[in-house]
Chain A
Amino acid sequence: MSPADDRDGPILAAGRCPNGHVSVPQHPVCPECGEKQTGTVDLSDRHGEVVTWTESRATPPGVREPNTIAIVEFDVDGTAVRAIGGTTGDVSTGDAVRPVYVEQLREPGAGIREPDSQDWDGFRFEPV
């Protein structure tokens, strides 16, 4: 059992391959080397740094408006791992943020994607 499985409730999970490459989201095989991603890393309790952000004011059906989104970089054992997600407030490049769980990021079924084809919960980023 990987450390990520010990935690109760949803986690912001990164996938890790046997060669130590890490990605968010998880993939069937490692985007870097093609090995299967057999491990997970839990980023839920870590702080990350905003690499860039945008405030989207023309959002599709079922998405909040405006929708502020950030690319956030985490340090995992000295390796930079990036994630993306909405933010809970205003952010600037370089800000420290932490993941916060949201049960429904977007209204399922309002857009073109079949509601049952994916999950709709996840993590937004809150300025620390």
Chain B
Amino acid sequence: MDVAIIGASMTKFGQREAWIRELLAEAGEACIDGSPVDRQAIDHLYVSNMASGEFEGQTGVMNALAHDLGLLGAYAERVDQTSASGGAGVYEAWQSVASGASEMTLLVGGEKMTHRTTAESTDVIASITHPFEYKHGLTLPSFAGLTARHYLERFDAPRESLAEVAVKNHANGANNPKAQFQKEIDVETALESPIVADPLRLYDFCPVTDGSAALLFCPVEVAREYTDEFVRVAGVDGATDTHVVHERDDPTVMGAVVDSGEGAFEMAGCTPDEIDVAELHDMFTILEFLQMEALGFAEHGHAWERVRAGETAMDGDLPVNTSGGLKSKGHPLGASGVAQVVELYEQLVGEAGPRQVPADRGLACNVGGFGNCVTTTILEAAG
């Protein structure tokens, strides 16, 4: 069964006073309000969230949200796939409709993080690691530093090329009123910012963020009864890689991105050349290179050249992270994969405002851990 997305919303990302229940309800309410669908029609509710229990001491957020949105009676489930919880939610929401189990599914992703110190947030996220990694103090930023050094040395890529990812995504985020940072930066600022995990510096990393995003899914034929304004889920797939990051054969190849991308392309019946716009999981600048290569947007070891040539800028052949990406828009863990698809939805229905690029087909890649769990989604404009 062909599945449509008929509504999309996201809250302002950043440092918010709202707690997790309020953030989820804000995006969910806006999604329902902005769609032509009555809330009574919603059969399934999925809530993408990594760690509301660890961050806030609030568990059971799917039931809380069902109550807060007036959806009682609906089936509700929390989806945790760490940083890829949002993409996993997209996959589950698609499955619920494609299988015929639900005729109207609401997906809301969210996280509340900024009340914790950066060290505490880093530790909550690092708790995904294997005990062998955790006792050494391995963190997601340290995996990024290890991988970035290997990539730069092996492929003779200039350090500036990573800074240029940050510069591009900040420029895009400056045009996104929902982004945490609406501030352009230059290469010098990025290169002179404090070291976090050598050779990576502050501007190579996404911030700690509060926020929420939501999507409404239904069969395409049901969407047509409501409106002409919807997008079609053309392909979606998820995959896993090793729990222990250093055991991968090649540290510069994200196997779960390769696998989920191949699955999504096969289902969509298209090739990387046919993607018009992409939202990639730039939790760290190096990840944009690794995903471009694993998804077939660049040869292995050459993504940095495409970025340097401006081919992933707004006016390039393949605009990447028009939303500002996690780097500039922010990364409220469970919300991010949902917000990537919100951006694609807006691009494909022509509502992206100053960030609008010509696009009929878009791809989102949501990465959990350091490539441990990945979901890739391809959307197409309706019609």
Residues on A lying within 8 angstroms of B by beta carbon are 23-25, 31, 51-64, 67, 69-71, 82-86, 93, 105-106, 111-113, 117-122
Beyond A54-B148, A84-B133, A93-B153, 18 additional pairs, beta carbon < 8 A: A31-B247, A52-B149, A53-B146, A54-B149, A56-B197, A57-B198, A58-B197, A59-B122, A60-B126, A64-B137, A69-B136, A111-B123, A111-B126, A119-B131, A119-B135, A120-B135, A122-B135, A122-B136
Q: Which residue of A lies closest to B196 (CB)?
A: A58
Say yes or no: B246 contacts A55, CB within 8 Å: no
Chain A neighbourhood of B197, CB < 8 A:
54-58
In this assembly, does B242 line the interface, its C-beta being within 8 Å of a C-beta of chain A?
yes
**Residues of B within 8 A of A (CB-CB), count:** 41
Measured in the bound complex, the distance between the Cα atoms of B202 and A57 in whole Å is 11
Measured in the bound complex, the distance between the Cα atoms of B132 and A84 in whole Å is 9
Say yes or no: A84 contacts B145, CB within 8 Å: no
Q: Which residue of A lies closest to B130 (CB)?
A: A25
Q: Which residue of A lies closest to B122 (CB)?
A: A60
Chain B neighbourhood of A59, CB < 8 A:
119, 122, 137, 139
Residues on B lying within 8 angstroms of A by beta carbon are 54, 118-120, 122-124, 126-127, 130-139, 141-142, 145-150, 153, 194-200, 242, 244-247, 251
Say yes or no: B244 contacts A105, CB within 8 Å: no
Say yes or no: B136 contacts A93, CB within 8 Å: no
Say yes or no: B135 contacts A56, CB within 8 Å: no
Say yes or no: A84 contacts B138, CB within 8 Å: yes
Chain B neighbourhood of A58, CB < 8 A:
118-119, 122, 139, 141, 196-197
Chain B neighbourhood of A105, CB < 8 A:
135-137
Chain B neighbourhood of A93, CB < 8 A:
149-150, 153
Asked, given contacts A57-B197, A93-B149, whether A67 binds B142 with beta carbons under 8 Å apart, the answer is yes
